[in-house]
Amino acid sequence: MILALIERLGDAALYHISDLGRMGFFLLSSVLGIFRRPFRFSALIRQIRQIGADSLGVIFFTGGFTGMVLGLQGYYTLSKFGSEGLLGSAVGLSLIRELGPVLTALMVTGRAGSAMCAEIGIMRNSEQIDALECMSIDPFRFLITPKFLATLIAVPLLTQLFDLVGIFGGYLVGVKLLGGNPGAYFSSMAQSVANQDINMGIIKSFIFAVLIAWICTGRGYFVHQIRGAGFGAEGVSRVTTHAVVLASISILVWDYLLTAILL
């Protein structure tokens, strides 16, 4: 009884250690793929379109409403202390430092991360990745690295757009709708937002991009080796769900850690 328990514990530990090793190797190979020739520039552009340009609508929508709700909440809270003039600073700081990077990363995970995971999982299951290997075509250079690089380029840019639209949303509600002072909105923002805050947002969005690309493509790539995932279509769907959940949690955990380090 106790022996069986220890055995299962050891078995699970071994599985997770080897899984970690696999994922580590995967990250390394994805990065090294950048330096392998021939570089697939057209694939990179296509991926940037899929991950970046196609996410624009979602980012505008969520960014706009996040800014608007911040404007609404912020205005009522600040007006209790008679400091509506600080609304711009509150909206700007919370968007640039926290909400912009985190919400963008979560939206990209849901929109593009799940698609990447499912696509690669299906390619694995239908032996397309084996076929690439048999043709001596490096699946990392051919398949994974373009997605990886595209995420790294698209997510920080989307984050900046999210911030911009959010700030405008806050302005719309706080100033145009509730009658705050437009000059105070922007001047308080300009005074309180420092370069350091903007850098923090960019660093965060880079790290989140790595997490999204790594977890989502990695889970799909190893769909056949993940314990308890099952096979075929069901395996891919489970692994995709798992990847999205894992990526989202990792983003929130890393957000805390990065804030603690960078603040």
Partner 1 sequence: MSEPIIRLTGVRKSFGSQVVLDGIDVDIPAGRTTVIAGGSGQGKSVTLKLILGLIRPDAGQILLDGRDIARVRGRELRELRANFGVLFQGAALLDSLSVFDNVALPLRERTRTSEDDIRKQVLATLDRLGLNGAEDKFPAQLSGGMKKRVGLARALQLQPRVMLFDEPTTGLDPEKTLEIYHLFYQIQQQLGYTAIIVSHDIPKVFNLADQVVILNNGKALVFADPQDIQRSSAPDIREFVTKTMGDVYLSREME
**Site for partner 1, rule CB under 8 A:** 38, 123, 126-128, 130-137, 142
Nearer to partner 1 among residue 100 and residue 220 (C-beta): 220
Closer CB to partner 1, 133 or 179, in the complex: 133
The distance of closest approach from Cβ of residue 133 to partner 1 in the complex, given in angstroms and rounded to an integer, is 7
Rounded to a whole number of angstroms, the minimum distance from the CB of residue 143 to partner 1 is 9
Please give the Cα distance from 36 to 234 (Å, whole number).
Answer: 34
Q: Min. distance of Cβ 123 from partner 1 in angstroms?
A: 8
Which candidate, 245, 178, 204, 217, places its Cα nearest to that of 50?
Answer: 217
Please choose, from the candidates 126, 115, 129, the residue with its C-alpha nearest in 3D space to the C-alpha of residue 46.
115
Nearer CB in complex with partner 1: 133/234: 133
Residue nearer to partner 1 on the CB measure, 134 or 261: 134
Positive or negative torsion for Cα 52, 91, 67, 257: positive
In whole angstroms, the minimum distance from the beta carbon of 130 to partner 1 comes to 6
The span from the CA of 33 to the CA of 149, in Å, is 10
Shortest CB 231 distance to partner 1, Å: 14
Closest residue by Cα to residue 171 from 155, 187, 157, 191: 187
Comparing CB distances to partner 1, the nearer of 131 and 190 is 131
- Please, what sign has the CA dihedral across residues 209, 211, 216, 220? positive
